[in-house]
Amino acid sequence: MSRRSLLVAGLAGTSVGLAATAQARPAPDVVSGSQRSGPRGAPGRVALPSLKPIWSESVRKSFGVCAHPNFGDSQYQFTDAWVAALAETGASYFRGLYSHNLTATDVAIASSRRRGLRWGMTVVPENWAVTGPALVQRIRHIADNAADVCLYVEGINEPNHERGGGRAPSDWISRTMAVQRTIWDAVKGDPRLRHVQVLGPSLHAVLATEADYRQIGQAGLANYMDYAAIHRYPNGRYPNHLLDEKLGWVARHWGGKPTWITETGYTNAMGTNLGHRPVPEDVAAVYAPSAILEAADRGCMITWYELLDDVDGAAKANIESNFGMFAARGRIGPPWRPKPVVASVRSFLDSLRDPGPTFDPPQIGLRITTDAEDVRSTIIAKRDGSATVYLRRATEGWDRIAKRPIRVDEVPVVVHSARTQRTVWVDHEVQAVAI
């Protein structure tokens, strides 16, 4: 069985979610050159559109990383070391199975608590081995031992996919709903878990159809979750690839629930041309901040898959062994080599840090003008009154078929605020412009 096939096989305070306080919000309008209006003179002489920024700290806390606390024969057997590595990324939480009968779980709880990390907990193995009374017991164990660390409890992972091959069980929807109702009742019925969010099941990213979303929605899924959960891998493309399609299915069939992207990321298995398309490590480092911003634009939380590579030979041909933010150095055990994505994500998240009580930024006047149709912008504000617009071109910088870089030309973008008007040159890498 593959690594991802085993993802859940053994698998305080207020909510930190973007969507916990707001519905999905589109990025600010980027006006094409043919639509410019008013003189381009001194700032403040023309009326500017009023736009609502996102609080920077909510974006920072939206980012987490998938890990495997229950993989005792893999890199994850070194529990305290991988939790320390996760903290190095700047992520505020991780996603992984809570197995109450494993010593590694106790170590992960203590290590996370010491570092101020939260845990998004899956609780049902993909083989359906923990359901009914056993599932209630597992959630009670969370309340007894890890309530302060628990960020959310999640429905079963990819129930529409059979891990051992073949088709998913014909009754997967009714079985999934039974699990989801049990999770909902157990979490919501325990006052020690009043701060914990309940996520729905994440359907398989490739195999799930809109009909699957519709049918489980008709079974009443929206009544038993705070957040919808989805998987959306870009498959070597820019991070928003097909994301709006999945969010549209959630809106139509799952009650428009706020959404948690519980898996997304890029494999660096450059030695393969089959299946999931790889990108080099430096390309993944460029795409990661864009992925966070694209999620924030839509009011979504986002969880990167995953923390650690498996050992893979020099050929780097195993897709599922090369999703990690840290490389394996050809052996099991720390220290692991941080890939460029670690520094990229950490730097970006650190720039967003704005701790304190929940902040609702006031609207600001801003116009962003460009002739390029693929320019994206995200406005983020802090409690000190500062605001930043994050610009990038939503286009690929890597040819996933030919396996070579794509030249992305810089395009001029005019940023016009009440304080200033300036022209910046933008390509596919995220550029921060203070406004």
Is residue 164 included in any domain, yes or no? yes
The answer on pLDDT for 31 being more than 90 is: no
Higher pLDDT, 7 or 124: 124
Is residue 24 included in any domain, yes or no? no
The pLDDT, as a whole number, for residue 46 is: 66
Average pLDDT over all residues of the chain: 90
The answer on pLDDT for 6 being more than 50 is: no
**C-alpha to C-alpha distance for 6 and 297, rounded to whole angstroms:** 31
Answer yes or no: do 260 and 169 share one domain: yes
The pLDDT, as a whole number, for residue 315 is: 84
Q: What average pLDDT does this structure show over 360-364?
A: 97
Answer yes or no: do 313 and 423 share one domain: no
Answer yes or no: do 304 and 427 share one domain: no
Is residue 369 included in any domain, yes or no? yes
The pLDDT, as a whole number, for residue 9 is: 29
Answer yes or no: do 122 and 257 share one domain: yes
Answer yes or no: do 218 and 270 share one domain: yes
The pLDDT, as a whole number, for residue 240 is: 96
The pLDDT, as a whole number, for residue 169 is: 86
> Is 102 within 8 Å of 121 (Cβ atoms)?
no
The pLDDT, as a whole number, for residue 30 is: 55
How far, in Å, are 204, 228, 269, 403 from residue 272 at the CA level? Answer: 22, 33, 6, 10
Answer yes or no: do 339 and 388 share one domain: no
How far, in Å, are 162, 194, 198, 219, 422 from residue 181 at the CA level? Answer: 22, 16, 10, 11, 53
Domain boundary among 321, 352, 383: 352
Q: What average pLDDT does this structure show over 351-360?
A: 96
Answer yes or no: do 51 and 62 share one domain: no
The answer on pLDDT for 20 being more than 60 is: no
How far, in Å, are 8, 103, 114, 125, 353 from residue 108 at the CA level? Answer: 16, 9, 10, 18, 25
The pLDDT, as a whole number, for residue 52 is: 96
Instruction: Tell me the CATH number at 305.
Output: 3.20.20.80
Answer yes or no: do 50 and 62 share one domain: no
**C-alpha to C-alpha distance for 59 and 63, rounded to whole angstroms:** 7
Is residue 200 included in any domain, yes or no? yes
Length of the chain: 435
Domain of 424, in residue numbers = 30-55+361-434
The answer on pLDDT for 209 being more than 60 is: yes
Q: What average pLDDT does this structure show over 325-333?
A: 94
What is the enclosing helix (H) or strand (E) of 368? strand 364-370
The answer on pLDDT for 10 being more than 70 is: no
What pTM value is reported for the model? 0.90
> Is 320 within 8 Å of 309 (Cβ atoms)?
no
Answer yes or no: do 40 and 92 share one domain: no
Residue with tokens 């009742």: 185
> Is 303 within 8 Å of 263 (Cβ atoms)?
yes
pLDDT band for position 45 (cuts 50, 70, 90):
low
The pLDDT, as a whole number, for residue 47 is: 87
Cis amide bond preceding 49, omega within 30: no
Q: What average pLDDT does this structure show over 60-81?
A: 97
Q: What average pLDDT does this structure show over 112-118?
A: 98
Is residue 198 included in any domain, yes or no? yes
CB-based burial label for 364 (10 Å; 0-12, 13-18, 19+)? buried
What are the helix (H) ranges across 70-162?
79-88, 103-115, 132-145
The answer on pLDDT for 25 being more than 60 is: no
The DSSP bridge pattern shows strands 387-393 and 375-381 to be: antiparallel
Answer yes or no: do 40 and 136 share one domain: no
**What tokens does 424 get?**
């910046």
The answer on pLDDT for 178 being more than 80 is: yes
Domain boundary among 315, 332, 352: 352
The neighbouring-strand residues paired with 414 are 369, 423
Higher pLDDT, 13 or 311: 311
Answer yes or no: do 77 and 109 share one domain: yes
Q: What DSSP string runs through 390-414?
A: EEEE-S-SEETTTTEE-----EEEE
Region of poorest pLDDT, from 40-44, 85-89, 259-263:
40-44
Q: What average pLDDT does this structure show over 52-68?
A: 98
Q: What average pLDDT does this structure show over 333-362?
A: 97
The answer on pLDDT for 190 being more than 70 is: yes
Is residue 429 included in any domain, yes or no? yes
Is residue 378 included in any domain, yes or no? yes
Answer yes or no: do 232 and 173 share one domain: yes
Q: What average pLDDT does this structure show over 90-108?
A: 97
Is residue 25 included in any domain, yes or no? no
The answer on pLDDT for 38 being more than 90 is: no
Domain boundary among 352, 377, 408: 352
Domains: count for the chain: 2
